[in-house]
């Protein structure tokens, strides 16, 4: 059975085949939310380590049958689980595969029975998707305000589509929502088309969405939107899939020709920006000023992702047009790499207001103001984010003359506060799911309980998680606190004896290692990524074999990789190898641990001059690695403050990054 992604499923009509597609769709939706595949190795690895009861085995079989859309099998297994402790999930998995055909009364009865629970909200999400597709607006409009999390872009698009059906002009709200085409699916495509047909969207809006779709690689969406333009689907497919001939042909009179040329420029620039620049220069006199800016933006974005030294000059020709979220941010990053603080200010001020509020751009706006002598404005920017404990909150505090320092522990939770946490049904369900290896369901149940907790309840919940040795939930819970800050909850350091033995002979920074583990696995010893990285330090099998051989670890097998002592030993040895071979820079070595040692060397080689470590981190072209480096080094700064009990500088930890030769054999044969 072919599964469509959450955001691209095509629903044709209500029948059993459709139900199977919807099941696949919702499974993948859960994957996107959880960050790991539901049927991935961590789930089954955890199951195999347990002594499961027959009822537990049946429950796991029920879940799998339900998510595969097997109605009869789900019913038979559910019948055997009449007394299972987590009854709400038994009923959910019985109902889920036949949601499309179940009587409305049965669906409502489930949500009434389990009102206020995470699983009832999950079912409402599922039902809203079906109601929206079927255009059953009366029921949809009744249920939508009751959807607590309201975190599904497709459901939000259906909500706007319902209002369009009532002849409401929701163009403004749609433009604010329609930012990431990889989240659109059928619902948002329908919304765009209906807004255009009702004359709430103009051709400019549709072409903007097509350019976004091409930029995000959502080709089927772009082709579908061609139906409401003066271009054919075939012409649009050519601009995206075979852009070379399109830019070679140049521009002719119709508007569609201009738009297709601009899209093709971006596609060609992915591999050959020089060819795109040459083609654009040939036809500039045939394009309006706005079209020229849009065309340069297509080239500039790809040049930025390639860390081209020409990127900033391309971006300087793009003012005054609507860009994608990524493009707005890369225009600033290119200016940072170029050291053009005036352009940094202008680029941030040109962002949509909501994007400007992100702590990243508040900080860099402050730095740009400071560099240009606007110290009062700079101080306001820094002060507005100084309460944050993240990467840019720490840097902003340093600009205000304050380094990272842990506060005194709050008063410990009272017995009655801990009792309240231990008796929380959601927490009890979460622990049961963890025991079954169902981490996504466990996290959902745990996090659902945190939504309305006060500071003392959060502190007690974090302590309860610590006492239960579920450290990832302890960290997640403690991170939500704003007043009752227990830094030992936020930044735990388990296995200290093993860590000391591993790092003492090689002189590795303990705070940095713990900062990395916090980001890699959140201290889940059995963690395994979708690519096969394992354990606390998330080591790839090939890397583990390499390091074991290099350090002479005898008797090592991959079966030992999740053993705490083995994992920390191999992980710290590898981290030290990378650090040594990248000149002692924690910024470069952290990037290397995530993206591989060769990539930071390549990124460094594109530099024209020495730059701050913060600028290097912010301009890493891989979004995952960019976030990873910032989080690890912020974590490490807090760990150092906790371990040493004195103020710590994130800026000093980041240091500076010097230009380097990408071809130097400094890395040897490191994997």
Digit-coded pLDDT (tens) for 47-106: 444 579 999 999 999 999 999 999 999 999 999 999 999 999 999 999 999 999 999 999
Residues 439, 574, single domain; the answer is no
Judge whether 283 lies within some domain: no
Average pLDDT over residues 361-365: 98
* CA distances (Å), origin 654, targets 573, 576, 628, 637: 21, 17, 14, 10
Judge whether 532 lies within some domain: yes
Domain end (from 454, 485, 516): 485
Domain end (from 132, 151, 170): 151
Closest CA to 290 of 260, 323, 312, 313: 323
pLDDT at 39: 29
Of 26-40, 185-199, 315-329, 461-475, the least confident = 26-40
pLDDT at 531: 84
Of 46-60, 101-115, 215-229, the least confident = 46-60
Judge whether 259 lies within some domain: no
Closest CA to 384 of 397, 375, 369, 403: 397
pLDDT at 29: 40
Polymer length of the chain: 671
How confident is residue 232, by pLDDT bands cut at 50, 70 and 90? very high
User: How far apart are the C-alpha atoms of 184 and 601, rounded to whole Å?
Assistant: 36
* CA distances (Å), origin 266, targets 109, 182, 296: 52, 18, 9
Judge whether 238 lies within some domain: no
Residues 468, 508, single domain; the answer is no
pLDDT at 482: 94
At residue 529, the 3 state secondary structure works out as coil
Residues 5, 135, single domain; the answer is yes
Domain end (from 151, 186, 209): 151
Residues 633, 504, single domain; the answer is yes
Of 248-252, 571-575, 639-643, the least confident = 248-252
Residues 636, 549, single domain; the answer is yes
Model confidence pLDDT, tens digit, residues 236-260: 999 999 999 999 999 987 889 999 9
pLDDT at 660: 83
Residues 649, 508, single domain; the answer is yes
Residues 610, 581, single domain; the answer is yes
**Domain hosting residue 67, numbered range:** 1-151
8 A C-beta contact, residue 415 and residue 389: no
8 A C-beta contact, residue 78 and residue 458: no
Q: Is the CA virtual torsion 56, 61, 67, 73 positive or negative?
A: negative
pLDDT at 668: 63
Please determine, for residue 40, whether its predicted confidence score (pLDDT) is greater than 60.
Answer: no
pLDDT at 529: 85
Number of domains in the chain: 3
Judge whether 627 lies within some domain: yes
Please determine, for residue 490, whether its predicted confidence score (pLDDT) is greater than 50.
Answer: yes
Residues 37, 139, single domain; the answer is yes
Judge whether 224 lies within some domain: no
Residues 574, 605, single domain; the answer is yes
pLDDT at 662: 54
Residues 481, 552, single domain; the answer is no
71-80: Cβ within 8 A, 24+ apart:
71/97, 71/98, 80/55
Residues 28, 143, single domain; the answer is yes
Residues 576, 451, single domain; the answer is no
Query: Tell me, what CATH number does 571's domain have?
Result: 1.10.530.10
Model confidence pLDDT, tens digit, residues 402-447: 999 999 999 999 999 999 999 999 999 999 999 999 999 999 999 9
Please determine, for residue 266, whether its predicted confidence score (pLDDT) is greater than 80.
Answer: yes
Judge whether 94 lies within some domain: yes
User: How far apart are the C-alpha atoms of 243 and 257, rounded to whole Å?
Assistant: 12
Judge whether 544 lies within some domain: yes
User: How far apart are the C-alpha atoms of 418 and 461, rounded to whole Å?
Assistant: 7
| Mean pLDDT across the chain | 92
């Amino acid at each position: 059975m072919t599964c469509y992604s959450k955001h691209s499923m095509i629903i044709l009509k209500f029948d059993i085949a459709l139900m199977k597609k919807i099941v696949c769709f919702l499974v993948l939706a859960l994957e996107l939310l959880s960050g790991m595949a539901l049927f991935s190795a961590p789930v089954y690895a955890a199951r195999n380590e347990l002594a499961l009861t027959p009822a537990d085995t049946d429950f796991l079989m029920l879940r799998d049958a339900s998510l595969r859309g097997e109605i009869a099998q789900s019913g038979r297994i559910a019948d055997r689980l009449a007394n299972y402790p987590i009854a709400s999930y038994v009923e959910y998995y019985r109902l889920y595969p036949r949601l499309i055909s179940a009587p409305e009364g049965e669906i409502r009865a489930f949500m009434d029975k389990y009102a206020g629970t995470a699983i009832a909200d999950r079912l409402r999400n599922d039902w809203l998707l079906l109601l929206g597709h079927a255009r059953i607006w009366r029921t949809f409009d009744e249920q939508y305000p009751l959807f607590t999390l309201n975190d599904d872009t497709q459901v939000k698009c259906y909500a706007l589509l319902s209002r369009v059906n009532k002849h409401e002009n929701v163009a403004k709200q749609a433009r604010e929502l329609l930012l990431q085409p990889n989240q659109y699916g059928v619902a948002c495509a329908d919304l765009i088309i209906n807004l255009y047909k009702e004359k709430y969207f103009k051709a400019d809006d549709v072409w903007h969405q097509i350019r976004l779709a091409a930029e995000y690689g959502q080709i089927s969406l772009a082709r579908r939107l061609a139906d409401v333009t003066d271009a054919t689907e075939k012409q649009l497919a050519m601009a995206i899939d075979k852009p070379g001939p399109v830019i070679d042909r140049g521009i002719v009179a119709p508007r569609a020709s201009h738009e297709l040329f601009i899209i093709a420029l971006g596609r060609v620039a992915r591999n050959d920006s020089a060819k795109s620049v040459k083609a654009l220069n040939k036809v500039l006199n045939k394009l309006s000023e706005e079209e020229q800016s849009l065309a340069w933006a297509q080239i500039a974005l790809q040049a930025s992702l390639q860390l081209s030294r020409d990127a900033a000059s391309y971006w300087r020709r793009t003012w005054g047009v609507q860009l994608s979220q990524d493009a707005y941010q890369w225009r600033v990053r290119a200016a940072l790499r170029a050291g053009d603080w005036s352009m940094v200010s202008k680029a941030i001020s040109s962002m949509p207001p909501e994007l400007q509020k992100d702590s990243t751009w508040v900080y860099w706006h402050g730095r740009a103001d400071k560099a240009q002598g606007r110290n009062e404005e700079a101080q306001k920017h820094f002060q507005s984010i100084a309460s944050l404990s993240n990467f840019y909150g720490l840097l902003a505090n340093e600009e205000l003359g304050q380094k990272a320092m842990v506060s005194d522990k709050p008063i410990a939770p009272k017995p009655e506060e801990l009792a309240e946490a231990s008796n929380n049904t959601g927490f009890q369900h979460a622990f049961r799911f963890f025991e079954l290896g169902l981490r996504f369901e466990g996290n959902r149940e745990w996090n659902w309980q945190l939504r309305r907790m006060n500071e003392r309840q959060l502190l007690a919940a974090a302590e309860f998680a610590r006492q239960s040795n579920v450290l990832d939930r302890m960290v997640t819970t403690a991170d939500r606190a704003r007043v009752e800050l227990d830094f030992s909850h936020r930044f735990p350091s388990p296995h200290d004896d093993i860590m000391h033995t591993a790092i003492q002979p090689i002189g590795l920074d303990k705070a940095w290692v713990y900062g990395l583990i916090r980001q890699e696995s959140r201290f889940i010893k059995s963690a395994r990524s979708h690519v096969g990285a394992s354990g606390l330090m998330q080591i790839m099998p090939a890397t583990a074999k390499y390091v074991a051989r290099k350090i002479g670890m005898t008797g090592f097998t991959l079966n030992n990789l999740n053993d705490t002592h083995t994992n920390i030993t191999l992980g710290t040895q590898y981290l030290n190898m990378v650090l040594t071979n990248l000149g002692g820079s924690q910024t470069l070595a952290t990037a290397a641990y995530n993206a591989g040692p060769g990539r930071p060397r390549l990124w460094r080689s594109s530099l024209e001059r020495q730059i701050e470590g913060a600028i290097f981190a912010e301009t890493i072209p891989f979004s995952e690695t960019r976030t990873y480096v910032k989080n690890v080094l912020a974590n490490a700064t807090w760990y150092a403050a906790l371990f040493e009990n004195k103020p710590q500088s994130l800026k000093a930890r980041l240091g500076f990054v010097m230009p380097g030769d990408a071809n130097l054999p400094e890395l040897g044969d490191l994997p």
